[in-house]
Amino acid sequence: MTTTDARTSGARFSVEDSAEEAAFRAEARAFFASVSSRRTDADETGNYFAMADNDPETHARHVARNQEAQRALYDAGWAGITVPAEYGGRGGERWQERIFRQEQARFTVDTGVFAVSLGMVVPTILVHGTEEQKHRYIPPMLRGEEIWCQLFSEPGAGSDLAGLTTRAVRDGDEFVVNGQKVWNSGAHHAQWGALIARTNVDVPKHRGITYFLVDMHSPGVDVRPLRQATGVAHFNEVFLTDVRIPAANVLGAVDGGWAVAQTMLMNERNMIGSGGMGIGFGDYLRMARELGVTDDPAVRQGLAACFVRTEIIKYLGARAQAAIRSGKQPGPETSVVKLNASLHSAANGDLGLQIQGAGGMLAGDDAFRRGMFQQMFVGQWGMRLGGGTEQIQRNVIGERVLGLPGEPRPDKTLPFSEIPKNG
């Protein structure tokens, strides 16, 4: 099916591959088939629990396997599809990246620990980095050697990220950083962090922030894992005490970090919304068949709704793809994609338990597929909050996509030091 869309400059889009896309897909699929096998339910479950295992040795093995897989992609010329060849990438286009990721999700080549590095940090450095920074930081990520984390949120600054209070004070050729970050995914296995901190309190809050590239092994960086409701320690608190960062590690301009952070956040929303959906419609249908409940009218309704949502997300993806092919960077429309992915994960969380009936109350090895669907149910809020909450996505869509009047923001023009604060 083909249609047009005013918001993609009238670009025609189709959910079917064009001849060029189909050829690229076949090439990518043949590559994955030559180095790995098709992902099965058992692989999916095993990978989920390896990723979720808090035992340091199991976790280290999982990270090492991801690094090996990323290195194999690099050696075969498939790392960094859109990254120019001079920085170690394939020099391809964004639509190819999307197809490549879709194909990768079908096979047992897992590089999930590089999600922040490759999906968020690389595109940000490409837009805002100096030549020296691009050459220094991008190739080791593509080779699977250096893993990055995002050090943005703080206990008092999540949705209102620009209200952050971590301070960076210049001292000669360095900045000295003090403060606390929180919810930092993968910081416990990251070598580098993308940090935003306040460098100027005398200007409005968005204008006094700087974006730094921080070595996570610097003295004064203290990473403390946080355990979630699922039992998994996926993210961390990061305390920064007199951490010295060379001025050469500023990305973009001093006090100009908000624009750099926005590039990263747009890429984050795009990645969350368009990435493999993890467990998908086929998994729910298979579970319903295995448990013999496909005749249950409520289950049928749930499956039909899941299928419809999956199709809508496919169309949103095709629209994003059309925009990308016409040369656009991801914009505020990524909030539409992120919001839909959030709502999908919420409804799927319910569906996974509904299909199991009373069995939905079981956990661990007693439950269907070792309780993976129960984990997905409990973990859904992570997906819905991370990368910006549903309410915030709705605000972005209202204001920046639909052009509705903005929320009152009396603190937008006040110098940060004059904004009333708690305590």
Which C-beta is closer to ligand FAD: that of 102 or that of 395? 395
Q: How far is CA 146 from the centre of its chain?
A: 17
Which C-beta is closer to ligand FAD: that of 135 or that of 227? 227
CB of 229 to ligand FAD, least distance (A): 11
Which C-beta is closer to ligand FAD: that of 137 or that of 183? 183
Residue type, 416: F
Can residue 375 be called a binding residue for ligand FAD (CB under 6 A)?
no
Can residue 386 be called a binding residue for ligand FAD (CB under 6 A)?
yes
The conformational region for residue 239 under phi > 0 = left, psi -120 to 50 = alpha, else beta, is beta
Interface segment toward ligand FAD; rule CB under 6 A; list 6-14, 35-43, 217-225, 380-388? 380-388
Q: Which of 395, 398, 401, 419 binds ligand FAD (CB under 6 A)?
A: 395
Which C-beta is closer to ligand FAD: that of 158 or that of 359? 158
Q: Which of 199, 287, 388, 396 binds ligand FAD (CB under 6 A)?
A: 388
Site string for ligand FAD, 102-141 (x = CB under 6 A): ----------------------------------------
CB of 149 to ligand FAD, least distance (A): 6
Q: Which of 176, 201, 203, 385 binds ligand FAD (CB under 6 A)?
A: 385
Residues in 181-200 that interact with ligand FAD by CB under 6 A: 183-185
Can residue 288 be called a binding residue for ligand FAD (CB under 6 A)?
no
Total site size for ligand FAD, rule CB under 6 A? 20
Can residue 159 be called a binding residue for ligand FAD (CB under 6 A)?
yes
Site string for ligand FAD, 20-59 (x = CB under 6 A): ----------------------------------------
Interface segment toward ligand FAD; rule CB under 6 A; list 131-139, 171-179, 335-343, 390-398? 390-398
Residues in 216-255 that interact with ligand FAD by CB under 6 A: 235
Q: Which of 391, 406, 417, 418 binds ligand FAD (CB under 6 A)?
A: 391
CB of 338 to ligand FAD, least distance (A): 11
Residue sitting closest to ligand FAD (CB): 158
Q: 118 phi and psi, to 5 degrees?
A: -85, -35
CB of 389 to ligand FAD, least distance (A): 3
CB of 147 to ligand FAD, least distance (A): 12
Can residue 70 be called a binding residue for ligand FAD (CB under 6 A)?
no
Sign of CA dihedral 269, 272, 275, 280: negative
Interface segment toward ligand FAD; rule CB under 6 A; list 85-93, 252-260, 336-344, 385-393? 385-393
- Scored b (16 or more CB within 10 A) or e, 29-63 reads bebbeeebeebeeeebbebbbbbbbeeeeebeebb
Q: Residue 251's beta-bridge partner residues?
A: 211
Which C-beta is closer to ligand FAD: that of 36 or that of 395? 395
26-35, long-range: CB < 8 A, 24+ apart: 28/78, 28/99, 28/100, 28/103, 28/104, 29/103, 29/106, 31/76, 31/78, 32/103, 32/104, 32/106, 32/107, 32/109, 33/107, 35/72, 35/76, 35/109
Residues in 139-158 that interact with ligand FAD by CB under 6 A: 149-153, 158
Report the interface residues with ligand FAD, using CB under 6 A. 149-153, 158-159, 183-185, 235, 382, 385-386, 388-389, 391-392, 395, 407
